[in-house]
Structure 1
Amino acid sequence: MELRVLRYFQAVVTELNISRAAERLHVSQPTISRQLKDLEDELGVVLFERNGRHIQLTSSGEYFANQTNQILALTDKTLANVNTAKEISGTLALGSAEARSFLTIAQSIKKLQRQYPKIKTNLTSSNANQIRANLKSGNFDFGIVMEPTDKHEFNFIRLPGESRWGLLVPRQSRLANQDHISLDDLKDQNIITSAQHGMLDQLQNWYGDSTPQFNVVATYNLLYNASLLVSAGVGYALCVDGIINTNQSDLTFVPLTPRITTGTSLVWPKGQRLSTAANAFLVQLAKDIEQPLPITD
């Protein structure tokens, strides 16, 4: 199976038309058709359902298309990071939780950009579960995750600063008039929580031996969409401060009491060799936050 054939397949998936894919790739239509047939024979599955000029992915084709996208993305990233010149270039791939401490990362990226203008940054907003999977597959160089999280498989640096937990509520809500919200105030309320693994365990830790008495009506990956659920009246979003700009909006953030905070960490897989671009970023970040680089495995 050649990368060239995978790129043919990817183009056909994008266009859902062999003629347009051939024109885009500057090859003949029979060449692509033949390569796709050979690919299906090699895999032993049917990738496309063909109906005249119209084609559609089968369930096997959808799975293979997803895997192909990951393979080609990793290939392109690897090729970009192969640096034979003295000047460092390549792509820095980051997966990040929504956190105020990302500003520290952004400031380091700005300094890195000045020093090595040929380094490009790919940033994906994600949660800890997806960041972990993408780090293992090599799609991300680093992840920025909210604490607490299991880091036994990763090297890590704690980032400065903490974020405070609270509730995102509509301004017309009764809770919006309070300076703080206690855990008892959540009783019988409809709550929207993060889908991050371990969040319910964290809530149980906050409550101690008591059982939380609120209703989890939805979970979220990114807080922006959760804020729209709050605006629509679905429930109140349990989240950290500083992510949603509530100025001139119909929402407000009310912190929990007693004060509950969380930090963030930069993580990367143990035993994985960093690209020159990723290593340059790590050195810059450690310098900026005045922390020694951890001893890596």
Structure 2
Amino acid sequence: MELRHLRYFVTVVEEQSITKAAEKLCIAQPPLSRQIQKLEEELGIRLFERGSRPVKVTEAGMFFYEHAVQILTHTAQATSMAQRISAVKQTVRIGYVSSLLYALLPQIIYLFRQRYPDIHVELIECGTRDQIEALKSGKIDLGFGRLRLTDPSIKRILLRKERLKLAIHKHHALAEYIDSGIYLSQILDEAIFSYPATPKPNFATAIQSIFTELGLVPKKMIEVREIHMALGLVASGEGICLIPETASDIGMKNLAYIPILDLEAYSPISLSVRNMDQSSYIPKILDCIQSVFQQEQISMHNEDS
């Protein structure tokens, strides 16, 4: 016995007509009559009195009708509740590096929450290096990071190559390059603050790699705990610092920012997921990223790397 057989029977009882019931159920009358006959054969009882117009239910049929209605009602309620529980409990844990809070990540997460209110979003600060193990262990489901890291079990989707800028004190001698831009080869004698002071690889090692790629050796690289400390020291006239261009919105006083002209001077922003993960939230978050990038008129790479 299937639930559809119960629905057929209940509809016939309530419509008091095979013809009207068939119209309401959007099926032909002969198949409906056969299904009712099969149900009677399976139960071993007569549900309707033969030849009656309108259709009249037998005493046994009325007893069965009352319980059939309860079964269908409970099934509908259970289905609805299960769907609600499933929606409420669906949680997506997103790892992120802190510097992306100055980029477009907040807009992306906000849009995702607006479009998919039934999905609970949990944000977890997590360095790019740590995101790989966090994805493997299930601590996070998605990871937004900046480093060029590879792992066979992780799929990395390059979203954007964010340009770097040079943060200086507004009265620094290099301020003459604010409009024209500067090459990294011109700052090798400066005290350059790098960050963060966390296990390698990190953003500091990524900056060092850019110098190495260009065959350059800075004379004085000073590692500090995090970006705010680096910029605070720059604002105090202690040195200079390389930052992603979106971090210039931090708004610390006495700072100026110079575009860096070297093509290699960029920070990749990527989305990392578990390889072979086909979860529905992945295309959903990619759609939100695409929407925000279009709104900000930013080209989205959206390619594996």
Report the TM-score range of the alignment, normalised by the length of the smaller protein: 0.5 to 0.7
Provide the C-alpha distance between the structure 2 equivalents of 1:187 and 1:245, rounded to a whole number of angstroms.
25
Letter of the structure 2 residue corresponding to residue 140 of structure 1:
I
Correspondence for 1:166: 165
- Per-residue deviation, 1:251: 0.9
- The DSSP-based 3-state class of the residue aligned with 2:243 is strand
- Per-residue deviation, 1:230: 2.0
- Same amino acid, percent of matched pairs: 18
| Contact 1:223–1:244, Cα closer than 8 Å, also in 2 | no
- Give the 3 Å change call, closer, same or farther, for CA 88–109 of structure 1 in structure 2: farther
- 1:247-286 aligned within 5 A: 247=251, 249-259=253-263, 260-270=265-275, 279-286=279-286
- Give the 3 Å change call, closer, same or farther, for CA 225–136 of structure 1 in structure 2: farther
Provide the C-alpha distance between the structure 1 equivalents of 2:186 and 2:111, rounded to a whole number of angstroms.
45
Confirm whether residue 192 of structure 1 aligns to residue 193 of structure 2. yes
Letter of the structure 2 residue corresponding to residue 215 of structure 1:
K
- 1:12-161 aligned within 5 A: 84-86=82-84, 88-89=87-88, 90-97=90-97, 98-99=99-100, 102-103=103-104, 105-159=105-159, 161=160
* Structure 1: gaps (5+ residues): 1-82
Between structures 1 and 2, the one with greater helix share: 2
- Give the 3 Å change call, closer, same or farther, for CA 192–248 of structure 1 in structure 2: closer
Correspondence for 2:218: 213
- The DSSP-based 3-state class of the residue aligned with 1:263 is strand
Provide the C-alpha distance between the structure 1 equivalents of 2:111 and 2:261, rounded to a whole number of angstroms.
38
- Give the 3 Å change call, closer, same or farther, for CA 146–119 of structure 1 in structure 2: same
Q: For the pair shown, which has the larger CA radius of gyration, 1 or 2?
A: 2
Selected match of 1:201 from 195, 209, 221: 209
RMSD: 3.3
Provide the C-alpha distance between the structure 2 equivalents of 1:294 and 1:169, rounded to a whole number of angstroms.
34
Moved more, 236-245 or 117-126: 117-126
| Contact 1:192–1:219, Cα closer than 8 Å, also in 2 | yes
TM value normalised by structure 1: 0.56
Correspondence for 1:240: 244
TM value normalised by structure 2: 0.55
Letter of the structure 2 residue corresponding to residue 192 of structure 1:
F
- Per-residue deviation, 1:280: 4.1
Correspondence for 2:42: none
Provide the C-alpha distance between the structure 2 equivalents of 1:194 and 1:171, rounded to a whole number of angstroms.
21
| Contact 2:129–2:149, Cα closer than 8 Å, also in 1 | no
Confirm whether residue 230 of structure 1 aligns to residue 234 of structure 2. yes
Provide the C-alpha distance between the structure 1 equivalents of 2:158 and 2:102, rounded to a whole number of angstroms.
10
Provide the C-alpha distance between the structure 2 equivalents of 1:215 and 1:102, rounded to a whole number of angstroms.
28
- Per-residue deviation, 1:151: 4.8
- The DSSP-based 3-state class of the residue aligned with 1:228 is helix
| Contact 2:166–2:259, Cα closer than 8 Å, also in 1 | yes
Letter of the structure 1 residue corresponding to residue 192 of structure 2:
I
